[in-house]
Amino acid sequence: MFEIARLTVEGLENNIVTDKSNPHISYKVASDGQNVHITNCHIVVRDQAGKTMWETDTTEQIEILYEGEKLKPSSEYTVDVAVKSDTGEEAFSSIRFTTGLMSDKWPGTFITDGSYSFTEKKVSPEPMTFRKKIRAAGNVVKAYVYATAMGIYEMYFDGEKVGDRYFAPGFTSYKKRLQYQTYDVTEYFNQGKEINVDFTVSGGWAVGSFIYSRNNRFAADRQALSAMFYFVYDNGEADLFGTDSSWLVTRQGKVKMADLYDGETFDSTVKLEESAWKNAEEEKLKYNPQIIAECGAPVTEHEVFLPLSEDKKGEEIIYDFGQNFAGIVRFTVKNAKKGQVIEIRHAEILNPDGTLNTSFLRSAKATVTYICSDGEQIFSPSFTYMGFRYVAVKGVKREDFEIKAIALYSDMADRGSFECSDEMINKLQSNIRWSTKSNFVDIPTDCPQRDERMGWTGDIAVFSTTACFNFDTGRFLKKWLGDVRSEQLPTGGLPNTVPANGFGFPVTMPTMAIDWWGDACVLVPWALYMSDGDISVLKDNYDMMKKYVGACRRWAAAFSLGKNRFIWHTPSIFHFGDWVAPDAPKMPQWQKRSKWTATASLYNTSSILANVAEILGHNEDAKEYRKLSENVADAYECIFTDGNGRLKEEFQTAYVLPIQFGMFKKENRKKAVDNLVKLIEKNNYCIGTGFPGTPYILFALADNGRADVAYKMLLNTKCPSWLYEVRTGATTIWERWDGLDENGQCPIGDDGTGNMISYNHYASGAVGDFLYKRVAGIEPLDAGYKKFRIKPVLGGNLTYAKAKIDTSYGVASSEWRIEDSVFSIDIEVPVGCQCILELPDGKTLEYGSGHYSAAAKL
């Protein structure tokens, strides 16, 4: 067997629309042979008339750049791929993609309700509905709609929703970038009938209340819609027209209220034809963003949950879906009466009396209100989402009501899996994956339930490698990185949330760089590159990385002499420090650790940037950043330690970071590890690290001869620990290690964070990286797993572990077992890749592609 397992254009297999004049083509192959290599891949790109636009021969597989004739807008192209192996086998595949408008200037007009003066604070605007009847002027052979909005829109043809996306056009840095979506609507218009076209537009992120201070109207004073219709007729002629003042608008539609935090109110009794319509007016946008074809991963429906239990509490019925997640409910009402009001509240946890605990939602109401018409009806909200496991329903009889819940998250393919002999660790892996899904909702958010859901950079900085193992995050994270570049200040600093939407915390200055949070501009591209092998992510973000590390370097050197120039010592109010470290009870204490976390951050980002510079051929830059990292390491050891591997001020993160990054001199490294172990033992093997140290602590131990301690931490079920959360029933990762005590109560108290606790927050789930790279043992040595190592680290009485990842070249997997003191392992190596297998007895084996087995006596 030799076949093309996947063929993509711009990272997609289906529904591919791009504005790029030079799109990227990637493919992977599968074979049941061993040591198989690709000898040639012949790629041909043809237009819809069959004309060859470009053809090439290559042995590359990742992000092959189209370099043919100029592509035309609104056109369809076919990519044919023929691959040959060194065994003489051949494989063939084809894929189609469509170009978007490919225009530097958006050709459409934005329209709005010009009479709507929205001035209320901390709320979202009234939703608007736009309408026009449209009929094609001839026999249509192809019809597209290109749509965007300042706000969130949904499009309906004759009352039927078009497309499966939620929250279009998506969340971007609206000052600079705004996406548009492309819909193939040929089936609607090729019958020659008139279509009633409706758009409903809510405030969303651009106009609605957002960030926990509930700012609104950040990117626009009110909603605005722009849509272009493109028809191609059977006579070869084409027609392009769009929204203008001939469209009608009303604020008396069915959606009465829509807010990302508060929820949605929907009145099914409204008859749109009886609403007060008027002509829309053209709107001049507050900003002038570049309007681009959708480049991210759209939010769509995924898993469906039925209630596991229900309980009557006063007027409400409490439903438990058994899983904390981000999404919506969909319910069916029977025997409804016109005007009957059903209210549904959402929460992550329950109070001890079984009622919903909504105290940690802060100002978010997280409520769906539905006003019934007569008879049976089905409803789910379209302009909001919630983070929840439980809902409370009132206003309907139990026998007349059926409900289910639907997970919403960005459309990313499953990529990796992990399993072992310890069921609690398997549950931890499930929790990691669910927190990823719940917080990959168009942007990487912090949590999905309270009045936040913001693109916190520090969270994804530490979690990106874990995310990239479990899911195909390429389009999702590249789109977000485009906004990070858009938000970077001229001085190199970055907002702590992207898109920022006017948010700034902690105390910030226009020139400030913040360690670990700003580090996302280096750590996320590097994680993507090592995971996917796509060098373009380094090229696209290299200038941003340089500017950021330059800013960090300047702030470290400010007002300093000697080695202190390499200690990043700006006041703690400008940092997050060892964020939510459980061995420090209050926020100011986490922040006061910033000298250590920031200095280690500068070492790490400058080291990675040196590697990136080498890969891209910027050798002088590489030397500069390598020297910088050496100076930072020397300063850390000279100033923060006694010169003999002991920190003058000891806490877990301050040891973990320099140990893991290799900042200690060789003769002091083991001493530092011993001192870290003493801290851990004193803390009963409980975790003591905040955001910066948590991803690395088990590596720092296991890679330095203390796998026994690493496994004791991993398997610990006392608070604070990963498995304490599992033991207490968590189905996702918590924001705080002590989110609930043994009695199900939240003990955090007044710690300076304003009641900050989420039960669906992936940051400390970065431990997943240890599960995949050390427990299962799969670790890339070259980008994209072109060369990788399998070296399981045994311990914790585990008797088996397995993991696999669908790399850019194919599936790489490891499955090991221990039986009767014999370690046995089965591995899989993708075509064209190399694997270095290191067995527990010290034996090293090298393999090309294929399936292999090996064993070692323990």
Domain residues of the chain, as ranges?
Answer: 2-99, 111-255+277-292, 301-410, 455-775, 783-857
Write out the two tokens for 91: 């494989």
Cα(521)–Cα(526) distance, integer angstroms: 9
Q: Active-site residue among 452, 487, 725, 828?
A: 452
For the domain made up of 111-255+277-292, the CATH class stated in words is: mainly beta
Please tell me the distance from the alpha carbon of residue 193 to that of residue 135, in angstroms, as a whole number.
6
Tokens of 744: 């199900």
Cα(361)–Cα(756) distance, integer angstroms: 9
Both tokens of 785, joined, read 């797993």
522, two tokens: 């280096």
| 686: nearest Cα among 580, 583, 590 | 583
* The pLDDT value given to residue 507: 47
Phi/psi-derived region of residue 845, left when phi > 0, alpha when psi is between -120 and 50, beta in every other case = beta
Cβ atoms of residues 379 and 263 within 8 Å: no
- Look at residue 506 in the predicted model and tell me its pLDDT: 53
Given a contact cutoff of 8 angstroms between Cβ atoms, the answer to whether 20 and 9 are in contact is: no
d(CA 254, CA 269): 8
Is 735 an active-site residue?
A: yes
Say how far residue 28 (Cα) sits from the centre of its chain.
Answer: 24
Told to judge if 452 belongs to the known catalytic residues of this protein, a careful annotator would answer yes
- pLDDT score, position 748: 75
List Cβ neighbours of 210 (8 Å cut-off, separation of 6 or more).
216, 218, 260, 261, 454, 501
Contact 480, 598 (CB under 8 A): no
Question: CA-based angle 734:740:745, to the nearest 5?
Answer: 145
Catalytic residue among 10, 316, 735, 828: 735
Distance CA 244, CA 237 (A): 22
> Is cis: bond before 169, omega within 30 of 0?
yes
What single letter denotes the amino acid at residue 285? L
Determine contact, residues 790/836, Cβ cutoff 8 Å. Answer: yes
> Could you give phi then psi for residue 646, rounded to 5 degrees?
-115, 130
**Looking at domain 783-857, which CATH architecture does it have?**
Sandwich (2.60)
Q: At what angle do helices 652-661 and 666-682 cross, to 10 degrees?
A: 150
**pLDDT number for residue 508:** 52
**Among 403, 397, 388, 224, which Cα is nearest to 309's?**
403
Residues 287-343 have pLDDT tens digits of 999 999 999 999 999 999 999 999 999 999 999 999 999 999 999 999 999 999 999
What 3-state DSSP class applies to 172?
coil
Q: Determine the topology of domain 2-99 in CATH.
A: Immunoglobulin-like (2.60.40)
pLDDT at residue 659, rounded to an integer: 98
Alpha carbons 245 and 112: distance in angstroms, whole number: 9
Enter the pTM of the model. Answer: 0.97
**HSE of 292 in the Cβ direction (CA atoms, 13 Å)?**
21
Measured between alpha carbons, how far is 830 from 786 in angstroms, rounded to an integer? 8
Residue 543, C-beta contacts closer than 8 angstroms, at least 6 positions apart: none
Q: Which two tokens stand for residue 343?
A: 């209210």
Which element (helix H / strand E) includes 437?
helix 423-439
Tokens 């975790």, residue located: 687
What's the pLDDT at 764?
97
Nearest to 125 by CA among 255, 249, 244: 255
Residue 437 CB partners (closer than 8 Å, separation 6+)? 302, 325, 326, 407, 409
* Helix/strand/coil percent split, the chain, to 5: 25, 30, 40
Q: Helices 619-640 and 536-557: crossing angle, nearest 10°?
A: 40
Output the six-digit token pair for 289.
Answer: 């963003």
Are 2-99 and 455-775 in the same CATH fold?
Answer: no
Give CATH for domain 455-775: 1.50.10.10
For the chain, the residue count is: 858
Give yes or no for a contact between 830 and 811, defined as CB atoms under 8 angstroms apart: yes
Residues pairing with 640 in the sheet: none
Half-sphere exposure of 542 (CA within 13 A, CB side): 17
Query: How far apart, in whole angstroms, are the C-alpha atoms of residue 589 and residue 582?
Result: 11
Could you tell me where the DSSP H helices lie in 704-754? 707-715, 722-727
- Per-residue pLDDT, 509: 55
Q: What does the buried/exposed string (b/e) look like for 121-135 if buried means 16 or more CB atoms within 10 Å of the residue's CB?
A: eebbbbbbbbbbebe
Which residues of the chain, if any, have pLDDT below 50? 507
Q: Exposed, middle or buried by CB within 10 Å (0-12, 13-18, 19+), for 160?
A: exposed
Does the domain at residues 301-410 carry the CATH identifier 2.60.120.260?
Answer: yes
pLDDT of residue 858: 94
Half-sphere exposure of 75 (CA within 13 A, CB side): 18
